[in-house]
Amino acid sequence: MLKLISAVTIAFLSICSTSVWARPFTDAGGRTVEIPDNVTRVLTAGPPASVLVYVLAPEKLTGWVREPSGEEKQFLLPSVRDLPTYGRLTGQGGTANMEAVIAAKPDLIIDVGSVNPTYISLADKVQQQTGISYVLIDGSFANSAKTLRQVGELLGVTPRAEELAAYAETTLKDLGEGLAKVPAGERPKVYYGRGPEGLETGLSGSINLEILEAAGATNVAAAAGKGGLTNVSLEQVLGWNPEIILGASPKFISAVKNDPSWASVAAVKNGKVFAAPSLPFGWFDSPPGINRLIGIRWLEALLYPKTFDVDLKADVQKFFKLFYQVEVTDAQLDTLLKGAIEKH
């Protein structure tokens, strides 16, 4: 009888604790989720969420969805470099399983990015199977400041979030004011190639090309329609004749510069082929997260050098100190910007 009473008491206290120590939160999927008042451990469902939690509260990050490379680790806080890798819950090639999720003992699971019925269904399923609160956060670039504030409040780091959100607002404000001075006819036509062959790109409206469109440039692949990522042919790119080519892979950049098949493209003729910086996270894409804010400064300097007065190296050092909490040396700046800007 005593054991029964004890069990009932524990259950009752657990219920009371839940009601006192949880608060409702309506996420980007319209789901109402109970959030613990004191979130100390966060599991991220995909790369954009990993970046967001890292910049806001690195001490709360339980692990990585993908192990950072040696090159990437030098631009991350020592305390997070060797966190466990548990895989990703969302996107193509999801590798995490429920056992790994539970073993991480998170108070909260966060996914950041596009929100659609597939992601909503996954969030419901994982939350039901694990009993762990799972929230979906809108990761659209235009809402960067809102996203930082919203997740900062969830994690209990509002002052930190406000500092980063203010940077995001200033960045987008400066971008808008500068673009207002650039006539439509002076905004470049750009092709962005993903992968070693460079023939994967984003259509109009793709989250992967968001900051190119935010920067006022023309995504030439928009001619192929609206949507997400797609594969294109070399013939299509030649027909679009971009004025600037950006690439995510050094192999692709090398091929564009040296393969005669590309020689007729305006970007190649004029030496306008550049590598998108990628350390410790992509500045343009990969992942399409809060890390792209520094990509705006890079694009301003690259696309509109006469309009924007950008001290790119100083801006990079400021961003890395504020967001990634690391000091960047002059030698590291050269590594970060290798092939990404014009040589003078």
Alpha-carbon span 228 to 92, nearest angstrom: 13
* Tens digit of each residue's pLDDT (9 = 90 or more) over 141-174: 999 999 999 999 999 999 999 999 999 999 999 9
Alpha-carbon span 151 to 156, nearest angstrom: 8
Domain ranges of the chain: 23-168, 182-336
Which DSSP state fits 44?
Answer: E
Whether 76 shows a pLDDT value over 60: the answer reads yes
At residue 96 the predicted structure's pLDDT band, cuts being 50, 70 and 90, is: low
Alpha-carbon span 262 to 236, nearest angstrom: 12
Q: Is the pTM of this model over 0.75?
A: yes
Alpha-carbon span 62 to 103, nearest angstrom: 10
Amino acid 201: pLDDT: 97
Strand-pair partners of 174: none
CA dihedral 81, 141, 182, 238 (to 10 degrees): 80
What percentage of the chain reaches a pLDDT higher than 70? 92
Structure tokens at 73: 């680790």
Amino acid 9: pLDDT: 37
Whether 7 shows a pLDDT value over 50: the answer reads no
Please tell me which of 10-24, 45-59, 99-113 the model is most confident about, judged by mean pLDDT: 45-59
Alpha-carbon span 201 to 230, nearest angstrom: 6
* Tens digit of each residue's pLDDT (9 = 90 or more) over 307-343: 999 999 999 999 999 999 999 999 999 999 999 998 7
Average pLDDT score over the chain? 91
Helix (H, G, I), strand (E, B) or coil at 338: coil
**Residue 190 φ/ψ, nearest 5 degrees:** -125, 140
Whether 18 shows a pLDDT value over 50: the answer reads no
Q: Which pairing describes strands 189-193 and 218-219: parallel, antiparallel, or unpaired? A: parallel
Q: Which residues contact 315 (CB under 8 A, 6 or more apart)?
A: 294, 297
Could you please state the CATH topology (level 3) that the domain comprising 23-168 is classified under.
Rossmann fold (3.40.50)
**Quick one: which of 146, 60, 150, 174 has its CA closest to 107?**
60
Do the domains 23-168 and 182-336 sit in the same CATH topology, yes or no?
Answer: yes
Alpha-carbon span 6 to 335, nearest angstrom: 62
Report whether 72 contacts 12 (CB < 8 A): no
Please compute the mean of the pLDDT values over residues 65-78 and round it to a whole number: 96
Alpha-carbon span 90 to 46, nearest angstrom: 6
Amino acid 3: pLDDT: 40
Amino acid 213: pLDDT: 94
Amino acid 99: pLDDT: 81
Residue 309: Cβ within 10 Å count = 10
Report whether 120 contacts 31 (CB < 8 A): yes
* Tens digit of each residue's pLDDT (9 = 90 or more) over 218-251: 999 999 999 999 999 999 999 999 999 999 999 9
Amino acid 104: pLDDT: 86
Helix (H, G, I), strand (E, B) or coil at 335: helix
Whether 20 shows a pLDDT value over 50: the answer reads no
Domain spanning 182-336: CATH 3.40.50.1980: yes
Alpha-carbon span 212 to 190, nearest angstrom: 8
3-class SS string, 207-237:
HHHHHHHHCCCEEHHHHHCECCEEECCHHHH
